């Protein structure tokens, strides 16, 4: 029986996946794990170059009709066997000793059930530096004095199986994007937060082209709008206040002084954040009335 079940939901993103699997292969001497790859109805099934990874990794590939990332992750939970579930994305890369560090942290914290890994960007590229700056800001700002964090990102998130609903539906299928934020809202409502594991590091990759990255940001921000409408029914404050945004801006300038990041990345991130924020506002303007009349709060019951 493996200790970790590493669950990766994929939809047409076969290009980024080999680097993720390679990073997992480098961890295999550190602890027992299985890799559950859930193909969420991609246009083409997993190519042979992905299937070949089963020769060096305990890899299982499950294909389902396209139901969304939440349903894909839930399916991964249902067929997994590990006592600890680790969620990563196809564009995640576990850094050296990540699983060993996470294993030690979980063993030392029996009272904790949820664990947020430390996310970084690829500072060798300009767009990667903007992502590193974004992640650094968020994690510094949202880290709590007791070591927990008001942040949940399934690019690197772990949970004890004992804390997963018996039917395996950890994520609400109604959330097309930002399903991890919806899960965080549920945990906040329960008075729980993930524990931050700073030495278990996962590098989150973004498109190398700034234009492609901006397109992805805008699309994500629009799709996340529906999830934030669901969160609103919970009465949980997730979005930052204007004061918090100014504090984040100060953190941005502070972090940009680091040589590996630089001021140019700061301006790039401001552009990314501005477009995402504008897209979110457009979504709210277009959907507020229809969402308030048609969205059923009962759909939140499957969130956790």
pLDDT at 293: 52
pLDDT at 303: 43
pLDDT at 195: 98
Whether residue 213 has pLDDT greater than 70 = yes
Strand order in the sheet with 33-40: 59-64, 33-40, 4-10, 84-88, 156-160, 114-120, 195-204, 92-94
Give me the chain's average pLDDT, please: 89
Q: At what angle do helices 69-79 and 179-190 cross, to 10 degrees?
A: 70
Q: For residues 4 and 295, which has the higher predicted lDDT (pLDDT)?
A: 4
Q: Where in the sequence is the domain holding 16, given as residue range(s)?
A: 4-302
pLDDT at 270: 86
E strand or H helix at 202: strand 195-204
Among residues 25, 3, 8, which one has the least CA distance to residue 76?
A: 8
- Other CB atoms within a 10 A radius of the CB of residue 182 amount to 27
| Out of 34-38, 157-161, 221-225, least confident range | 221-225
pLDDT at 299: 47
E strand or H helix at 8: strand 4-10
| Out of 10-19, 197-206, 259-268, least confident range | 259-268
Q: Are 117 and 156 in contact (CB under 8 A)?
A: yes
Q: Is 161 exposed, middle or buried (0-12, 13-18, 19+ CB in 10 A)?
A: middle
pLDDT at 197: 98
Q: Residue 290's pLDDT band (boundaries 50, 70, 90)?
A: low
Residue corresponding to tokens 């709210």: 284
Q: For residues 34 and 250, which has the higher predicted lDDT (pLDDT)?
A: 34
Q: Residue 170's pLDDT band (boundaries 50, 70, 90)?
A: very high
pLDDT at 294: 53
Rounded CA-CA distance 269/132 in Å is 10
E strand or H helix at 115: strand 114-120
| Out of 40-44, 88-92, 114-118, 165-169, least confident range | 165-169
**7-38 tens-digit pLDDT:** 999 999 899 999 999 999 999 776 899 999 99
The SS3 assignment for 156 reads strand
pLDDT at 239: 73
pLDDT at 302: 46
Whether residue 148 has pLDDT greater than 60 = yes
pLDDT at 281: 86
CATH number of the domain within which 151 lies:
3.90.550.10
Q: What total number of domains does the chain contain?
A: 1
Which residues are 35's β-sheet partners? Answer: 6, 59
Structural tokens at position 42: 């991609």
pLDDT at 226: 87
- Cα torsion 288, 293, 299, 301 to 10°: value is 90
Whether residue 241 has pLDDT greater than 70 = yes
pLDDT at 233: 80
Q: For residues 232 and 39, which has the higher predicted lDDT (pLDDT)?
A: 39
Mean pLDDT across the stretch 238-244?
Answer: 75
Q: Residue 147's pLDDT band (boundaries 50, 70, 90)?
A: very high
Whether residue 300 has pLDDT greater than 50 = no
Model-level pTM greater than 0.95?
Answer: no
pLDDT at 277: 86
Among residues 183, 196, 187, 197, which one has the least CA distance to residue 69?
A: 183
Whether residue 297 has pLDDT greater than 80 = no
């Amino acid at each position: 029986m493996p200790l970790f079940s590493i669950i990766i939901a994929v939809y047409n993103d076969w290009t980024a996946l080999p680097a993720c699997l390679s990073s997992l292969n480098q961890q295999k001497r550190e602890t027992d794990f299985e890799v559950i790859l859930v193909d969420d109805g991609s246009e083409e099934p997993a190519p042979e170059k992905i299937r070949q990874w089963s020769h060096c990794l305990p890899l299982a590939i499950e294909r389902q009709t396209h139901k969304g990332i939440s349903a894909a992750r839930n399916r991964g939970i249902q067929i997994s066997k590990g006592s600890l579930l680790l969620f990563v994305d196809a564009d995640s890369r576990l850094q050296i000793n990540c699983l060993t560090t996470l294993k030690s942290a979980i063993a030392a914290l029996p009272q904790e059930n949820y664990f947020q890994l430390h996310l970084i960007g690829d500072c060798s590229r300009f767009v990667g530096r903007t992502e590193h700056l974004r992640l650094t800001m968020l994690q510094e700002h949202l880290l709590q004095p007791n070591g927990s964090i008001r942040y949940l990102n399934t690019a690197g998130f772990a949970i004890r199986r004992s804390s997963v609903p018996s039917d395996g539906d950890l994520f609400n299928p109604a959330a097309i994007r930002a399903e991890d934020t919806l899960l965080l809202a549920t945990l906040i409502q329960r008075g729980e937060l993930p524990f931050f594991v700073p030495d278990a590091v996962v590098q989150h990759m973004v498109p190398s082209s700034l234009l492609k990255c901006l397109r992805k940001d805008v699309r994500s921000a629009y799709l996340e709008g529906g999830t934030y409408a669901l969160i609103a029914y919970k009465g949980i404050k997730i979005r930052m206040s204007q004061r918090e945004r100014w504090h984040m801006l100060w953190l941005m300038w502070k972090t940009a002084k680091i040589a590996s990041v630089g001021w140019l990345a700061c301006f790039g991130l401001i552009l990314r954040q501005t477009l995402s924020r504008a897209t979110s506002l457009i979504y709210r303007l277009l959907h507020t009335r229809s969402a308030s009349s048609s969205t059923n709060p009962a759909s939140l019951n499957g969130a956790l």
